[in-house]
Structure 1
């Protein structure tokens, strides 16, 4: 399998390092696995026989790899190469129009190239268009990393709940806000200090308002609703309230009653992201940066 990676920021670099660490396991699944190209905002690398994973995993910028770096070359040029089987799309999220990731994904799918993306933007903006394009061209479009971190929610539902009709989904979908609320709950930390700590730990979005105002969680609610419940939800339809107004007094009052305040995404008749009181013994009452999702179906609650 010939793979290209679009976007060489944190996610792209960590993916390459993971491939390098686990290459023996990967090769047991696919002996021909290789990364033949990678691009960033300034250019791209490409070698039809594969790039060195050891070397690629050691650089912070693609231009440091070798003189093979095509300065000024476009990502579209890389995607148009003839021998690409899979594109990993890891460019920054843009929920306004999904670009540039949306165009990259559409180009790849139109060529019959499978796509794996960690980018919420294209799915929020054009979920149905992209899934239809993938089906038309007999491609896989996979996006497990867009929602709930390491929780394989889409694979779980598709593999284990095919006979169920999902009635309701609720969940903690943003690790940053859960970290902030957990610090306020356990340590009595102020919202401002907890947010600063989260930024220092590098767990916030580039613009932390995406986290604390519920924008990131709302994007994930849209993707879950459309992917798992066959809805056609738009971002603007999500009723959204963030956590900026959560005070230490509110946290303390909830704690005295054996509740915790959590930012919860809800999909049923309403599509909502808002702070909710969660019993401390409820499965959704996880802490730190953890995510959790609760699914109710026609057969199980």
Structure 2
């Protein structure tokens, strides 16, 4: 005999039907939180217009795109452009330059962001903490054009303050803006100065959520400041560090076009050419639209694989990951 309880019970995994009551509740929530949905609209439009809609044009990576014929009328060539790019003599140099610049950002600039956040968190004088935070945030709002212009003034031959200082310190009078050996250090210094302070925001937000009772208990147990940082602070923000590291790894081939392009010249081009500038030169200057799209799509595929790979490694080390 079937009981009422057995009739009402749903099998595991069964989808709950959208009843009129649930639809009314959904409409009521939509009206209640309409301003939240309105605030989400610019972000949704941004991703639709600049992230999802361009995927339609990515098909030209598999075609011999001719603007007069359009995407549909152009000849399908399959993986020809990918094979051409991977067999190009410039590919090893581009890959090496891109990985070195990305590695400097990943292994030096990214840890410095964490260190700066930890140092700011240890400041107990609020006015000093807010002042330092403001000073380190300001460079982020400067465009790369302004940053490169400041760099050119500081390292100008003959009268640049930093050119004079490094020349005295290292005993050299080289043109640092054109010297290939100085290109990567300058790129790293710009990245650290511009973005390190801004990157601390997420870590400071994570640090604000750490239970203060843990610090009080550690002080009672006799733990010093360094011990509290090592055993409480860092483990508390470790999930945030892992998530940002995964996202940073996925962007490893995206070194940024504007900074590299503005800092490159005919004398340092051997170390300045990366995938982002190569796409510009091949696609815009030479008009090889399909070839340049194939290079960009190659970067996206590699980034996707790296995100899944680093996320898998994070799970293997008992970290949360991003999915």
Q: Same fold (TM over 0.5)?
A: no
Shorter-chain-normalised TM-score: which range? under 0.3
Which has a greater percent of strand?
1
Higher relative contact order (CA 8 A, sep 6+): 2
